[in-house]
Structure 1
């Protein structure tokens, strides 16, 4: 059984690692030239019931704990005047909740757990063609080709593999602009104190200015706006961004002024929360390729859980991969639907005119309940993690 995984993100690498542990060889085809070809984004928090469970199945729980930053769970939510609305502090050193880990560190952890030849770099999938005797022929940018018996699409929001199973549309749900402040403790100690060891959200009317602390001593700043018709180039100017936050406390807008990278804007998209497809032999999807959701809390965790559950089915039924895939898909559709609906509601709340009041109510526990875990984003999560 030759298994090809399109996409070397967290979901695809988790799947490859678990299958490798059970003696099932796979090849991960990744479009990037190397692990260091581009930034992997900010940090994320791994949930015990999903991301951490997947790492346990992958035999990597101990290595995760050594890389995790439990202090990164600290989270403050402010209003535009700088007044604190919510302040969550985790127990010092505790790994019992949802500790943070930089995406780059987590990806490196997974890559280091695989044989060197398990990832084929610089292989951007262009087409996957069904073969008459089953399986697929794969063609990559540059003319390379390969064959497989089972194809797993882990190739993200713009998945090529998805088009073989569903034509579910993508719709814009927000605009996100990201910036970076490097060496923040030395260069901007006031901003380091403002953000702290974890995450900061500043909530305005239909806009969020946020920042998160990374393990390399930098801050990742994010500006979240409602989806609009403006060309993305509109948001490549710091001056334009500062004008959006006119009247806000200068200590907050200093997060924009202090950035030493150019603003990087992009559209945030999502699929319908009820997306499903008819089972097709030898092919399936995991992660954003399967269920691209508004980025407010679950993306990376659910991608890794998808990988763990698909791997368990394939390991448990290696002689009948189609039955394994069918069982995985049925369970995944049932699990994801309420999570995707919740993500849609939270996305709307986060960028609503009354977001500040809604968020305070959301994070205020009832007398018999703990406070909800807060997200560790720049704004609504771009790679998924809490809420």
Structure 2
């Protein structure tokens, strides 16, 4: 019997997990198409907590659980909340157990990449558009597959093959900064996550590996707002100087987008979605875990039922699960950055 040809758009955590599990089950004719030119074309983002019931199960299904545990930072489960005006500790949750240890996204991605058969990822060759069983590349050439999987994120080029939905601005913006080997900031952050909040402004700080810190100033703002350092500090003028120190340095502006809830589509043979392409939601620790869970579930369903019936079985589980996660993260974003008059 001919091995099905499967195309996966996007070499993120979801797409790579799906390719790995498919290959473990004998599906060798799998190609991941990635628009970026190489694994190191850009920095892969911050730290993610891999949850016991979803992301960890996916990495176990991928046969990489022990390798992941060797990289995971169990101490990163520590949570700290401090007062915005004094920086005094308000609440402390020490790192306990192994429910959601942290790992740098780049480390996890590299672990998945190293597990794939040579040549699985076609670097510098993204999918421009898709139809059931067919992909078109940026140069206008096309190819056919038994299945096209859209794992290509928020602005998926595969999604229009099954749904007209597009991401909408949530009204919340993150402004990211980063710091290396700053002992005072590291001490204030602790081993995991530190937060402070006041009157609709939030500071969310995470420790990554190698004494690297990523900080996020979070607020309701116009979609096109791009503050300078001085403008950002003015918003946080009455905060403690040690907390305002996190806002120094180069600013990366990240308006948050989400797909409508519920986002569903009629089953379309030859194409499906996973991860942010299927259910983009606020970044509250769920998205990467859900993408990997989607990926493992889809690959296992294909292995058990074949491409056509497997995709249908996967979607019947994934779509309602995604709605629940979207509703929870939307509510979480509302709690984290409450509705207030737009300040900027």
- TM-score band w.r.t. shorter chain: over 0.9
SS at match of 1:228: coil
Which residue is 2:246 aligned to? 255
Name the CA distance, whole Å, in 1 between partners of 2:313 and 2:291. Answer: 17
Name the CA distance, whole Å, in 2 between partners of 1:328 and 1:207. Answer: 39
Could you say if the C-alpha distance between residues 24 and 74 of structure 1 is closer, same or farther in structure 2, counting changes exceeding 3 Å?
A: same
Which residue is 1:357 aligned to? none
Which residue is 2:24 aligned to? 21
Name the CA distance, whole Å, in 2 between partners of 1:164 and 1:249. Answer: 50
SS at match of 2:232: helix
Match of 1:66 among 65, 70, 95: 70
Name the CA distance, whole Å, in 2 between partners of 1:44 and 1:154. Answer: 18
Which residue is 2:297 aligned to? 309
2:320 equivalent to 1:326: no
Match of 2:147 among 146, 150, 160: 150
Which residue is 2:234 aligned to? 243
Which residue is 1:201 aligned to? 195
2:216 equivalent to 1:222: yes
Name the CA distance, whole Å, in 2 between partners of 1:205 and 1:160. Answer: 38
Q: Render the CA deviation track for 1:102-123: whole Å, top value 9, x for unaligned.
A: 0000000000000120000011
Which residue is 1:264 aligned to? 252
Which residue is 1:2 aligned to? 5
Tell me, yes or no, if the aligned pair for 1:29 and 1:121 is still in contact at 8 Å: yes
Report the TM-score when normalising by structure 2: 0.93
Name the CA distance, whole Å, in 1 between partners of 2:316 and 2:78. Answer: 37
> By how many angstroms is 1:317 displaced?
1.6
Query: Gapped runs of 5+ residues in structure 2?
Result: none
SS at match of 1:203: strand
- Range with bigger deviation, 80-89 or 284-293: 80-89
Could you say if the C-alpha distance between residues 97 and 352 of structure 1 is closer, same or farther in structure 2, counting changes exceeding 3 Å?
A: same
2:215 equivalent to 1:212: no
* Count of aligned positions: 334
Q: Render the CA deviation track for 1:294-343: whole Å, top value 9, x for unaligned.
A: 2223100000000111011100022xx11111111011112122221111
Name the CA distance, whole Å, in 1 between partners of 2:241 and 2:262. Answer: 43
Query: Gapped runs of 5+ residues in structure 1?
Result: 355-387
Which residue is 1:336 aligned to? 322
> By how many angstroms is 1:241 displaced?
1.1
State the superposition RMSD in angstroms. Answer: 1.5
Match of 2:40 among 36, 39, 64: 36
Which residue is 2:121 aligned to? 119
- Range with bigger deviation, 79-88 or 21-30: 79-88
Which residue is 2:103 aligned to? 101
Q: Any residues of structure 2 matched to 1:355-370 within 5 Å, and which?
A: none
Q: Render the CA deviation track for 1:319-372: whole Å, top value 9, x for unaligned.
A: xx1111111101111212222111111111100179xxxxxxxxxxxxxxxxxx
> By how many angstroms is 1:143 displaced?
4.8
2:77 equivalent to 1:89: no
Tell me, yes or no, if the aligned pair for 2:131 and 2:158 is still in contact at 8 Å: no
